[in-house]
Amino acid sequence: MSTSRRKFLKTMGATAPALMLAKTGFAGRMNRGGGGGGGMGGGGSTSINVPVFELPLNIPPVAQPSTTDAQGRAIYELTQMNTSVEIIPGYQTNILGYNGMTPGPTIKVDSDEEIIVRQINNTNVRTTTHLHGGHMPAGNDGHPVDYVNPGTYKDYLYTNKQQPATLWYHDHTMDLTGDQVYAGLAGFYIIDDDYERSLGLPSGNNEVAIVIQDRTFSADGSLLYSDNIMGETGDTILVNGTPYPYFQVGTSRYRLRILNGSNARSYNLVLSNGASFTQIGSDGGLLEAPISRSSLNIAPAERLDVIIDFGNNAVGDQVILENTAGSGSTSQIMRFDIVRVEDDPSTVPSTLRSIAQLDPSAAVQTRRWVFGMGGGSMPWVINGQPYDENRVDAYPKLGTTEIWELVNRTGMMHPVHIHDIMWQVLDVNGRPPAPEDAGWKDTFKVPPMGTVRVIGRFDDYVGDPNEITSAYMMHCHILEHEDHAMMTQFIVVK
Ligand code: C2O
Ligand code: CU
Ligand code: CU
């Protein structure tokens, strides 16, 4: 079936492969505050009682390698499965989970440590797995049609030839990324190194990664997914898979790696006691220097690495992480409960890492990508065209620097994500990026009717111009925009 035929069917409501998600149309009793978000909407509302600040924060287990390959590379095995978990107390929710959980186990590696992640598909749907933020040989990137069929597996080679950063792995299946990430297929992947460990940043129990996601639950506890073409938003906030958790902390600094793993919702995070965050990193790792921020705007797929200092709090204090971009049930995220006095051995150095600025005069190519509206069943297009897996739109040359102009011709923000390499933002609507966007990035908030120019260098890996699965993607990370064709692909060539 051609791409367009398949997408047309999807848009017309033909069933995706049988995922056990409830369909929309449920009109249940609304007994919670409304959670609408910015003109987008899901297909219903949660009608069961969701506890707020009653469940502890879930910390996903750290994955352990099961064996090594002939080259001595650790092999991590993850099994994707259909399973049922208790997210809302008293209800069972069918999910797709890596090792049966959502988020999946956290993979932790060091820069330049090569590993294999064996993704075993024991689900009833075909999958691909992408390492978001990862720089790895072509063919290992989880191309949307490089399918892993039920009952089979694929070994993904991750070379980690990149700076320490907070990455995440997630499903990237053609037309169904939104469905399958919503169903649970996402997990953390954290790269570290000796230099970063030497900085004295909060670590151990004082370092946590949290993924914020919004979901809607049906009356029977199942996930409600409507494939809203404008972007699916839920009315219930999950952090690491738990609704509105609390997290017990001491009177010290905490390093929080925040991922917006939502399909479409952006957040603006603040602390209820008015304290500021100290941001130390973004998508591609540490910033040059820490910056103090009173609020954190975060779009889908972006990562923020922040320090929260509870040193001025007293035991018994409670600090809520709030979302000023939400309302009602989406205006709160989680709560920090200060429960113990704690010495603080950590430091936040005033210089974190040097970042060599890429020079625009070194760019050999400038490419312009216009994110716009198409027509009919394909509302989302890039340069006027919907994604076609058989069409490659750019062949950047290995070792060269390019400037990409991301132009938004719509009235809504699109978080544009580029695979393979990290980029630097040259300007946003002609002005230099804000300090929080001045580090290495892979996801860019392109403002309504605005333009973001980014610069990057295509290092290390080439693809095969005749092999489509060696292409890397660029797409909007509002997953329903991606699934409805706001995606393009490029192959790096010699
Ligand atoms: Cu996080 Cu191409 O995706
Ligand atoms: Cu990616
Ligand atoms: Cu979009």
- Run means of pLDDT, 10 residues per run, the chain, 494 residues: 41 40 34 36 80 98 97 97 98 98 98 98 98 98 98 98 98 98 98 98 98 98 96 98 98 98 98 98 98 98 98 98 98 98 97 97 98 84 96 98 98 98 98 98 98 98 97 98 97 98
Closest of 392, 463, 460, 469 to residue 154, by C-alpha: 469
Nearest atom in ligand 1 to 443's CA: 1
* Residue matched to tokens 């151990």: 204
Nearest atom in ligand 1 to 133's CA: 1
CA of 85 to the centre of ligand 1 (A): 25
Question: Which residue puts its alpha carbon closest to atom 3 of ligand 1?
Answer: 132
Closest of 192, 206, 165, 193 to residue 345, by C-alpha: 206
Tell me what pLDDT residue 355 has: 97
Tell me what pLDDT residue 24 has: 38
Give the environment of ion ligand 3: residues with CB less than 5 A: 414, 476, 478, 481
Q: What number of other Cβ atoms are within 10 A of residue 267's Cβ?
A: 27
Question: Which residue puts its alpha carbon closest to atom 1 of ligand 1?
Answer: 132
CA of 478 to the centre of ligand 1 (A): 10
Alpha helical stretches, state H, 161-307: 177-182, 194-197
Residues 6+ apart with CB under 8 A from 20: 82, 94, 222
Per-residue burial over 354-364, b = 16 or more CB atoms within 10 Å of its CB, e = otherwise: ebeebeeeebe
- How many Å apart are CA 156 and CA 75, to the nearest integer? 10
Nearest atom in ligand 1 to 482's CA: 2
- The values of phi and psi at residue 19, to 5°, are -90, 145
CA of 457 to the centre of ligand 3 (A): 25
What the block records as the tokens of 426 is 């040259």
Q: Dihedral through CA 172, CA 175, CA 177, CA 183, nearest 10?
A: -130
* Residue matched to tokens 């978990």: 85
Sign of CA dihedral 269, 273, 274, 278: negative
Nearest atom in ligand 1 to 168's CA: 1
CA of 335 to the centre of ligand 2 (A): 30
Q: Residues near ligand 1 with C-beta < 6 Å?
A: 130, 132, 170, 172, 301, 417, 419, 473, 475, 477
3-state DSSP assignment of residue 482: helix
CA of 176 to the centre of ligand 2 (A): 16
CA of 193 to the centre of ligand 2 (A): 21
Tell me what pLDDT residue 7 has: 47
Q: What number of other Cβ atoms are within 10 A of residue 339's Cβ?
A: 16
Sheet containing strand 277-282, strands side by side: 242-243, 236-239, 207-215, 253-260, 303-309, 277-282, 285-293
Please name which ligand lies nearest the alpha carbon of 474. Answer: 1
How open is the CA angle 59-65-71, to the nearest 5 degrees?
A: 145
Strands (E), 67-149: 67-68, 74-85, 93-98, 104-110, 115-122, 129-132
Nearest atom in ligand 1 to 473's CA: 2
Tell me what pLDDT residue 21 has: 52
* Residue matched to tokens 């892979």: 442
Tell me what pLDDT residue 379 has: 85
CA of 486 to the centre of ligand 3 (A): 7
Distances in Å between the alpha carbon of 54 and those of 239, 243, 251, 346? 13, 9, 21, 29
> What residue type is assigned to position 404 of the chain?
W
Tell me what pLDDT residue 27 has: 27
Please name which ligand lies nearest the alpha carbon of 264. Answer: 3
Tens of pLDDT, residue by residue over 34-76, are: 333 333 445 689 999 999 999 999 999 999 999 999 999 999 9
